[in-house]
Chains A and B, each alone.
Chain A
Amino acid sequence: AQKVTQAQTEISVVEKEDVTLDCVYETRDTTYYLFWYKQPPSGELVFLIRRNSFDEQNEISGRYSWNFQKSTSSFNFTITASQVVDSAVYFCALSNPWANSKLTFGKGITLSVRP
């Protein structure tokens, strides 16, 4: 069975601080995909990144960066110089591409960025 654990439930930071959101996953599959989604107060889930299990290269996109480590089954997300607009719920998800791309979600992390 697949499982995604986001142990942090709520994080509060002051604007311009760096913040890391943790994600730990469990799967028996050798081929899988990991995702991060952002859910702002409006409710719609916004896709941020997809990473496949064979690509452990870290990725940076502007203020966002992702650290994928298969050895620890983790896919952590760092926001550098946080802004108020980063306030949202962030979900990590795992998919098994051989099982109809079903997504298994973590419970989400509520990030509050204070001015």
Chain B
Amino acid sequence: DGGITQSPKYLFRKEGQNVTLSCEQNLNHDAMYWYRQDPGQGLRLIYYSQIVNDFQKGDIAEGYSVSREKKESFPLTVTSAQKNPTAFYLCASSATQGAPLQETQYFGPGTRLLVL
């Protein structure tokens, strides 16, 4: 089945520790995105990537880093510089065909990050 997978489902971080969230898609989508969701809030964009080896900061990139070495994968690292990392993290992907870009973003199941 085609889709987006995220792992782990739950992740615990100790103070001062970097942690990496995995996102993989087999939809052959060019673009991938990371969002953060806090309780009672909408989703906020952390980083996005439209092609391999290229990515851009979103609205709340501070304390996060990403890489895009393969089309299928877009891991997110939450660094120790992120002082309030407890949140639900959602990865999404979309095709990027034509202009204006009009492809729908599809989401993975999410990873819940908790600080110990």
Tell me the A residues contacting B by CB distance below 8 Å.
Answer: 4, 9, 31, 33, 35, 37, 42-47, 50, 52, 91, 93, 97-98, 100-103, 105-108
Q: Please indicate which of the listed interface residues B42, B50, B90, B107 has the most CB atoms of chain A within 10 Å of its own CB.
A: B42
Verify B42–A91 contact, CB threshold 8 A: yes
Nearest-Cβ distance from residue B59 to partner chain A, whole angstroms: 9
Chain B residues within CB distance 8 Å of chain A: 31, 33, 40-45, 48, 50, 56, 58, 88, 90, 92, 94, 96, 99-110, 112
Q: Are A107 and B110 in contact (CB under 8 A)?
A: no
Given A42-B109, A43-B110, A102-B48, decide whether A97 and B101 contact each other with a Cβ distance below 8 A: yes
Are the C-beta atoms of A101 and B45 separated by less than 8 Å? Answer: no
Asked if B42 and A108 sit within 8 Å, CB to CB, the answer is yes
Q: Which residues of B contact A52 (CB under 8 A)?
A: 102
